[in-house]
């Protein structure tokens, strides 16, 4: 399902999830929603070393992870500290909780909205070419992703550690997802721990997860 281009800094985690119903019909349990608080007890905590490793990872291809293009995990930490991190759906809530406390940016896409090539060609992780961009929200705003490590489907880049593409985001009808954890150099153990926790949160609502 997934091909990863060689990269000297990348520690990647990836798994698929199949839900027992459309996610719009599966409420986030109270214990998951509680994890959206910055001060919530959690098995992991973000730190400066993780922040630096992630930024170095994103800089490797020439991308500048600053300002509005900072890693998604940094946005979540700021939003939670200011009390603005609220529930969205069970998939995104679990993703945000794990990203917030692990310090790792995480992408999640609807597998049935991703465009697969001939013979159901696998998705790919690699660096976006010059002048690459995509729409990242319902308002039609775009992000310049040249030089940024991204997930690609047959149509082009569709997710990364900063902002995922609008065209493959989850909807209330989503039944299958692919989650990508973006870890930098020296972060293999952290990625594995975060992925195990993330999968356990989703399995607690009846979902089935599998390595990608």
Summarised one tens digit per residue, pLDDT across range 13-55 is 999 999 999 999 999 999 999 999 999 999 999 999 999 999 9
Dist. CA 39–CA 156, nearest whole Å: 38
How confident is residue 117, by pLDDT bands cut at 50, 70 and 90? confident
In a domain, 129, yes or no: no
Query: Is 124 among the domain residues?
Result: no
User: Closest Cα partner for 132 from 105, 152, 109?
Assistant: 152
Domain span at residue 24?
7-114+164-211
In angstroms, rounded to a whole number, what is the distance separating the alpha carbons of residues 119 and 125?
Answer: 19
The total number of structural domains that make up the chain: 1
In a domain, 19, yes or no: yes
Gap between the Cα atoms of 20 and 17, Å rounded: 10
pTM (2 d.p.): 0.96
CA distance 91 to 76: 15
């Amino acid at each position: 399902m997934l091909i990863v281009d060689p990269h000297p800094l990348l520690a990647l985690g990836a798994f698929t999830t199949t839900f027992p119903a459309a996610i719009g019909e599966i409420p986030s349990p109270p214990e998951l929603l509680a994890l959206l608080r910055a001060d919530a007890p959690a098995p992991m905590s973000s730190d400066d070393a993780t922040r630096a490793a992630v930024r170095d990872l994103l800089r490797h291809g020439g991308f500048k992870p600053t300002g509005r293009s900072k890693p998604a995990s940094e946005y979540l930490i700021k939003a939670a500290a200011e009390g603005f991190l609220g529930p969205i759906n069970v998939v995104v809530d679990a993703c945000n909780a794990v990203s917030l406390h692990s310090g790792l940016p995480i992408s999640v896409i609807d597998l049935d909205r991703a465009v697969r090539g001939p013979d159901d060609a696998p998705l790919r992780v690699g660096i976006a070419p010059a002048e690459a961009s995509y729409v990242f929200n319902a308002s039609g705003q775009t992000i310049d992703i040249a030089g940024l490590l991204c997930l690609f489907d047959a149509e082009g880049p569709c997710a990364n550690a900063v902002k995922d593409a609008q065209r493959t985001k989850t909807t209330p009808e989503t039944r299958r997802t692919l989650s990508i954890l973006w870890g930098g150099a020296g972060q293999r153990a952290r990625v594995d721990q975060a992925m195990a926790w993330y999968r356990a949160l989703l399995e607690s609502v009846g979902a089935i997860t599998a390595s990608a």
